[in-house]
Structure 1
Amino acid sequence: MKNQVLKVHPDDNVIVALTDLPQGTVVKYDDQEYTLIDNVQAKHKFAAKDFEKDDDIIMYGVLVGKAQYHISKGGVLTTKNIHHAANDFTIGDRKTDWNKPDVSKFADRTFYGYPRSDGSVGTANYWLVIPMVFCENRNLEVLEEALITPLGYGRNKMYTNQAQELIKMYKSGQDVSQILNADMPYVEQVPKQERLFPHVDGIKFLVHNGGCGGTRQDAQALCGLLAGYITHPNVAGATVLSLGCQNAQVSILEEEIKKRSPLFDKPYFVLEQQKVGTEAELLSLAIKQTFAGLVLANRNTRQPSPISKICIGLECGGSDGFSGISANPAIGYTSDLLIAAGGSVILAEFPELCGVEQNMSDRCVDTNNAERFSYLMRTYNERAKAVGSGFDMNPSPGNIKDGLITDAIKSAGAAKKGGTSPVVEVLDYPEKVTKPGLNLLCTPGNDVESTTAEVASGANVVLFTTGLGTPTGNPVTPVVKIASNTKLYNKMRDIIDINTGTVIEGEETIEQAGERILDYVIRVASGEIEVSAVRHGQDDFIPWKRGVSL
């Protein structure tokens, strides 16, 4: 590690510790000397000057908090001595000039994807089984049991011999203490089953708890989300199960499908239980139709495709104090590279853009998009405040423990995922991306709700940064997990794909990490690499009800 500390932006009046620094440590940075008057853990910040009550705390060059009382130079910043604050924003002048990165290294790159008739290209080829309402969830469970293992999509049962050993111990009369202290046999990876349909990556069951009982707006949004998945480039076709009487009607779903794909021509089967009759008849028809759909889906094969057909969703979860200075800016550079090559990028999680609204608004290509962004941000925050919350309550206990002590600090670092390119369009949930470039999508900061939404909007690869570790995945789109620090990468190698702790340690630059990540994305999009979330079957799917979720 080249440095013990880092000032992220020249205008900052706080400094980040890159390693644990005990009280009394004297550190030098930019020809200035700082004596720490508190212990400062890695990822946390200390004062670069004396602060008085209500003085501005600046990080990433923006307002991120206010001092609650006097803080001496060299003192650690905590939730006790500063509180969240962020600048207001207006519809200002357009600032859409940007320095496009050199993409000559990627000029001739292609990926092997699944071309669709609408011009999009999938990075995978899945069949969906979708309930229109939660009442059909049990029928999905029955279908999953009937289809997954016989067709070769069963998951590896890595821990079966451990369970069998415990059964033997219990039957032999061993007590609880002996069971708890038993040495378990080595768990061997079970070879994958041979698939009947080798060109179909899987059958995915989008179980959810919506479709009825909420508002009609919830039903409309759910239908839009499900339509986004059915028309998604990673999806070959779908089986839809409807009860019949629910708010989320099939007719609404089909309207939403037409909005996204006017010439929709994928295999698509709809079964309404109240029309079909018995459960046995319904499930028998569903099995036959799904099997027929799989036969058709298996005819799709990977073909060379330009990387401009890649749409990356940007996500962060379990963030830490290093996320905004390693992983997030690294994928921000990846975003700029892909956009310069003609691709699309989605930046979501609106509660985590609090404090950087002016920058994002100014980067919108026209005032209509800037005004829409302003409206969505203000409305969202007001709804949160109306129920006793607000964007300032977004940081989780894990975020705070690892240095993200105000929402503005978290947001300023999270926004780095979006790079520096202009914002071509502002989308409301669950609208579809239609333009190459950087798109802003209104979603919660909640990892799974946001990832679910980005995929519905068209992301065929998701880059997910984390400083604390999380297994989040998606049913149809590969979610690439990127560690902000090497300690996490080494500790949770089974769920993390890429390490950017190398940036913190001075082993590579942001630009080098960004290029490395784009190369990885292209290989994932080609099916050359199976990311951890796909390997583990981490099929997280949570629709957002348009109430308050941060």
Structure 2
Amino acid sequence: MTETIASDGSQQGSLRVHAADNVRVALKDLAAGTRVDDDGHTLQLAEPIRHKHKFSLEDIAAGDAVVMYGVTVGRATRPIPAGTAITVDNTEHSTASATPQARRGEWRAPDVSSFADAAFEGYRRPDGRVGTANVWLVVPLVFCENRNIEVLRQCVADALGEDPYRDYKRMARALLHGESDTVQTSPGGERLFPNVDGVRFLTHTLGCGGTDDDARALCQLLAGYICHPNVAGATVLSLGCQKAQIEMLKAAVAERDPQGLRPVHYLEQQASASEEALIREALTTIFDGLAEANRVERTPAPLSALTLGVECGGSDGFSGLSANPLVGSVVDRLVALGGSGILSEFPELCGVEHELMARCRNDVVAERFKTLMEAYQQHAARVGADFSMNPSPGNIRDGLITDAMKSAGAAKKGGDSPVVDVLDYTEPHTRAGLNLLCTPGNDVESTTALAGSGANLILFTTGLGTPTGNPITPVLKISSNSELAARMGDVIDFDAGPIIRGEATIDELADRLLALCIDTASGRYRPHAVRLAQYDFIPWKRGVSL
């Protein structure tokens, strides 16, 4: 017996995303012989189609375009009969210029009347910006100081009684000594600094041995973290002889904080009497900094002070149908309220450049995006790489066959609002509205850059699951499907799966997700990445990272 799937997806069997598409995506496993009604035309599947994968709606000849989201996402390498799965064996990456769906000046902002009077409880900084968190930052200028950073981390955690791994340590002791391995959560005592969200310790592998450009880029990134609205101040450890010198970082900080409003303490090990003296001085600056930061309390702030960085990682075939457009709708709402969004991952915008350029507020912004994209692609080509190499084995296994297919869905995180600015790596966000940021597609490198450019909240979509977080910016995880939300409930903060099942619309969930963003920005909700102390930080060495 064959099953018939309605063209509107009412039986949640499959979905055509755009009227111009010549493929549909399976929303569940479909057996060979299943009849699919597509806009009045019925076809029969020639083979089984796994959920999240695509199948052809018509006979596609070798060399013809494979179209999804209304844009070219691949090229057939051999004939693909109607009702046949789209795979790496019959399709390759391809993009094509096309008339963009977007038109400059034609964006219609969503109805945000229900949020007109909304505010979040944030930390106001002397420069006028508002933080969603209040942390003290400890930063190494060079990898040689990573060990001292770890010493400080353990000492501070012990002194404050806030070791995030204490339960796992108890588990390890119990397992080693043959005792019960039941994990018991330690009761929380009174916090010494209740208005502070903690101390964050960065480590990295850079600062020496690279080029001058590497050192400058690192200092610009660290300056973005030190001057971030979520950061109260910082302690910086330097060895002394490395390429990334203290004066270089001071200059980068001064560009972002010309009035010197942010307290920053610079310590040099080669100028210290001993390691013990260095650690003592560093601990003194940290505890003094915490006392000062604790004097700042949360106060109401408008949603226009929010900047959402958007990221995807561990994407699946549903990411571009549920989680990504959901996040895009939240960005559109925030932009309509005067806030900002930052869309990164340039390799995952390959194939939809014409759409984004059509949304740029003027030709200058469009030209900058084009220039940065072309420079990135040319750099990749010089070392024998290409954006088409971006999809991971996990992406392909879950139906994202080509980079263009992945990009068309990934770009949905940016919503539909105008692109007001395009930022190169480490450049600070200064203009309200949607910004594009040049970063690689690597999850942590890109998330690291989003925070460095000023995102004070990050929305991270995933279909396969990832624990990624950030040291200074809260990261909310949105799952594309409910199975993932149930299986990795200790990682996922919001489930977009009801969209796939037809139980909720994107608009309905976008209002709920924006409300969660407000709660997170106010400290009323702690994302799982924060609870797990998942503080990932990887600078981009400006090489080819797809």
Do the aligned partners of 1:130 and 1:240 also contact (CA within 8 Å) in 2?
yes
User: Whole-Å Cα distance in 2 between the matches of residues 88 and 215 of structure 1?
Assistant: 37
Partner of 2:104: 95
Cα distance between partner residues in 2 of 1:162 and 1:541: 27
Counterpart check, 1:50 vs 2:59: yes
Q: Aligned partners of 2:386, 2:541: CA distance in 1, in Å?
A: 17
1:186 aligns with 2:178: no
Distance 2:482 2:227 in 1: 38
The question of 1:132 aligning with 2:176 is answered no
**Alignment-derived partner of residue 4 in structure 1:** 13
Following the alignment from structure 1 to structure 2, what is the Cα–Cα distance between the partners of residues 80 and 91? 29
The aligned residue for residue 437 of structure 2 is 441
Task: Give me the whole-angstrom Cα distance separating, in 1, the residues matched to 2:177 and 2:269.
Answer: 44
* Partner AA of 1:399 in structure 2: N
Q: Among 461, 482, 485, which residue is 1:465 paired with? A: 461
Q: Please, which of 241, 248, 269 is the counterpart of residue 244 of structure 2?
A: 248
What SS class does the counterpart of residue 280 from structure 2 fall into?
helix
1:318/1:93 Cα in 2 relative to 1: closer, same or farther (>3 Å)? closer
In 2 relative to 1, CA 89–47 (structure 1 residues): closer, same or farther, beyond 3 Å?
closer
Q: Tell me the equivalent position of 2:377.
A: 381
Code of the residue aligned with 1:380 in structure 2: it is: Y
1:497-516 alignment, distance < 5 Å: 497-516=493-512
The one-letter code of the counterpart of 1:149 is D
Tell me the CA shift for residue 98 of structure 1. Answer: 0.2
Asked if structure 1 preserves the Cα contact closer than 8 Å seen for 2:127 and 2:261, the reply is no
How many residues get paired?
A: 537
SS at match of 2:235: strand
Quote the offset at 1:264 in angstroms: 2.9
Match of 1:175 in 2: none
Tell me if structure 2 keeps the 8 A contact 1:311–1:346: yes
Aligned to 1:174: none
Who is 2:365 aligned against?
A: 369
Structure 1 526/517 Cα, relative in aligned 2: closer, same or farther at 3 Å? same
Counterpart of 2:152?
Answer: 143
Aligned residue for 2:71?
62
1:331 and 1:419 in contact (8 A); partners too: yes
Distance 1:418 1:150 in 2: 42
Contact 2:269–2:275 (CA<8 Å) still a contact in 1? yes
Aligned to 1:288: 284
Q: 1:390 aligns with which of 386, 394, 415?
A: 386
Q: CA deviation at 1:96?
A: 3.1
Q: Secondary structure of 1:204's match?
A: strand
- Cα distance, 1:493 vs structure 2: 0.2
Deviation at 1:147, TM superposition (A): 1.2
> Counterparts of 1:187-226 in structure 2 under 5 Å?
187-226=183-222
Does 1:27 pair with 2:36?
Answer: yes
Match status 1:273 vs 2:269? yes
Looking at structure 2, the residues matched to 320 and 92 of structure 1 have their Cα atoms a distance apart, in angstroms, of: 24
Equivalent-residue separation in structure 2 for 1:470 and 1:167 (angstroms): 29
Match runs of 1:498-537 below 5 Å: 498-537=494-533
2:120 to 98, 111, 115: 111
Deviation at 1:93, TM superposition (A): 11
Which among 19, 39, 45 is matched to residue 36 of structure 1?
45
Segments of 5+ residues of structure 1 without an aligned counterpart are 171-183
1:490 maps to 2:480: no
User: What TM-score results when the alignment is normalised by the length of structure 1?
Assistant: 0.95
Identity percentage of aligned residues = 55
Corresponding position of 2:474? 478
- Distance in 2, matches of 1:136 and 1:202, equals 21
Tell me which residue corresponds to 1:71: 80
User: Once the 2 structures are TM-superposed, how far is the Cα of residue 94 of structure 1 from its aligned partner?
Assistant: 6.6
Distance between the aligned counterparts of 1:3 and 1:273, measured in 2?
62
Deviation at 1:157, TM superposition (A): 2.5
Deviation by residue 1:431-455 (Cα, 9 ceiling, x = unmatched)? 0000110000000000000000000
Aligned position for 1:179: none
Match of 2:89 among 63, 77, 80: 80
Q: Are positions 1:453 and 2:462 aligned together?
A: no
Partner of 1:157: 166
- SS of match in other structure, 2:369: helix
**For 1:23-50, what per-residue CA distance to the aligned partner results, in whole angstroms no more than 9, with x for missing partners?**
1111223212121111100000000100
Encode CA deviations 1:301-330: one digit per residue, 9 max, x unaligned: 100110110100000000000000100000
TM superposition shift of 1:260: 1.7
- Return the match for 2:313 from 308, 314, 317: 317
1:89 offset after TM fit, Å? Answer: 8.2
> Tell me, which stretches of 5 or more residues in structure 2 are unaligned?
1-9
Contact 1:156 1:191 in 2 (8 A): no
Per-residue CA deviations over 1:109-158 (Å, capped at 9, x if unaligned) read 01000000111100000000101101111111111122112113211523
The alpha carbon displacement at 1:479 in A equals 0.4
> 2:5: which partner in 1?
none
